[in-house]
C-alpha cells in the first residue's frame, strides 16, 4: 500500500507510552471512570479532570483533546466509544468514528505518534473479534492519507486483547 506510517500492536500500560498523544476510552461525561479511563486520570493527575470539566462532555464517537499533564504523552485525546447492544444500534459506525475522530484531532495538533487502547471492549462489552478489525482498518485507511502521523500503537491491556488485534492485523494484511 506504500504506507510509510507504521502500526504497532503490543501489550502494555498506555499511561507509560512516550508518544505525542494517547487516546482515552472515556465515557460521555469525560469525568473519569474505571478501566483505562481511571488509569489515565490517576497517572495524569488532578489537572486532567479539571481540564475535562471545562469540555462539557463529549458525544459517543466524537473526540476532544487536553494536555497530558503528568503523563509522558503531550496530549490526551478523549473519545467515548459505543456501548455494545448487540450490533443493531450503529455500534460499528460509532466505533469507527471514535478512531477516525481521534486520529483527525491528533493530526490537527501535528502529532507524529499516537497510542490507542482497545476502545469499547472493556466494560462497554464490544466483542473483541469485531472491534479489532474496525480499529485497524480505520487506522490504516487514515494513515494512507494523513501527513503528520508516523506511528500508531495499539496498547493491549491483556493477552486476550493482544491476540485479537494480532489476528485481525494478520487477516487484514497489516504488519
**109-76-12 Cα angle (round to 5):** 120
- Catalytic, out of 13, 20, 37, 158: 37
- Residues with Cβ within 8 Å of residue 172, at least 6 apart in sequence: 133, 136, 137, 140
Distance (Å) of CA 135 to CA 68, 70, 72, 77, 84: 23, 27, 23, 15, 15
**166-159-19 Cα angle (round to 5):** 70
Strand partners, 35: none
* C-alpha span between 61 and 99 (Å, rounded): 8
Q: Are 169 and 136 in contact (CB under 8 A)?
A: yes
Q: Residue 167's CB: how many other CB atoms inside 10 A?
A: 14
For this structure, is 158 an active site residue?
Answer: no
Which residues are part of the catalytic machinery?
37
Amino acid at each position: 500500500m506504500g504506507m510509510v506510517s507504521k502500526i504497532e500492536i503490543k501489550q502494555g500500560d498506555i499511561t507509560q507510552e512516550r508518544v505525542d498523544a494517547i487516546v482515552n476510552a472515556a465515557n460521555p461525561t469525560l469525568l473519569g471512570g474505571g478501566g483505562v479511563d481511571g488509569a489515565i486520570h490517576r497517572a495524569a493527575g488532578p489537572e486532567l479532570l479539571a481540564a475535562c470539566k471545562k469540555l462539557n462532555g463529549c458525544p459517543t464517537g466524537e473526540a476532544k483533546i487536553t494536555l497530558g499533564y503528568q503523563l509522558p504523552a503531550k496530549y490526551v485525546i478523549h473519545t467515548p466509544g459505543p456501548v455494545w447492544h448487540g450490533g443493531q444500534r450503529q455500534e460499528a459506525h460509532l466505533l469507527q468514528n471514535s478512531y477516525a475522530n481521534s486520529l483527525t484531532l491528533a493530526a490537527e495538533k501535528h502529532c507524529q505518534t499516537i497510542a490507542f487502547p482497545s476502545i469499547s471492549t472493556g466494560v462497554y462489552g464490544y466483542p473483541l473479534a469485531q472491534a479489532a478489525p474496525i480499529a485497524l482498518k480505520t487506522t490504516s485507511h487514515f494513515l494512507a492519507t494523513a501527513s503528520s502521523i508516523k506511528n500508531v500503537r495499539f496498547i493491549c491491556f491483556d493477552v486476550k486483547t493482544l491476540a485479537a488485534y494480532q489476528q485481525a492485523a494478520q487477516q487484514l494484511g497489516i504488519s
